[in-house]
Structure 1
Amino acid sequence: MNSPFSNIWFSALATVITAWVCYVNIDQLDDHWAAVIYLMALALNTLCLLRSRRGASTDVTDQRDNQNLTRQVE
């Protein structure tokens, strides 16, 4: 799983960029657009975190399966 969305650093970067954009443009944005940007960032970060956790647990499960298969073959 080499998707950039599975990387927790991508999630952190998305958070920093979104926070910076909101901080710089907060005076120019009305409340509606600030809320939309915040919710989009929250959704993106949630997606990244869920995919990274699912990928990590899948990797561990695959390693266990491979070890079990190796033991059965021996």
Structure 2
Amino acid sequence: EENLADVKEYRGRGLVWGLEFHDKGRAGRVAKRAFELGLLIETSGPESEVVKLLPALTITPDELDEGMKTLARAVRETV
């Protein structure tokens, strides 16, 4: 339900997912904002245009939910 107009593609399997943005610089801005909010994520891809999600295998459902909320906030706040 977030505004995902700038998301070009999302792909993954299990707990490992990537969000690719049309704006190639957006992934870096999202990763920076997420870090400021306490969530460590990485970028990937030839132009670092993908936000890479790699949670620990021991993550709890509550921790995963909190992380997704933080990621959504970072995406919203980095137009």
Q: TM-score, with normalisation over the residues of structure 1?
A: 0.40
Q: TM-score, normalised by structure 2?
A: 0.38
The answer to which structure, 1 or 2, has the higher relative contact order (CA under 8 A, 6+ apart) is: 1
Instruction: Choose between structure 1 and 2: higher strand proportion.
Output: 2
Q: Larger helix proportion, structure 1 or 2?
A: 1
Between structure 1 and structure 2, the one with the greater Rg is 1
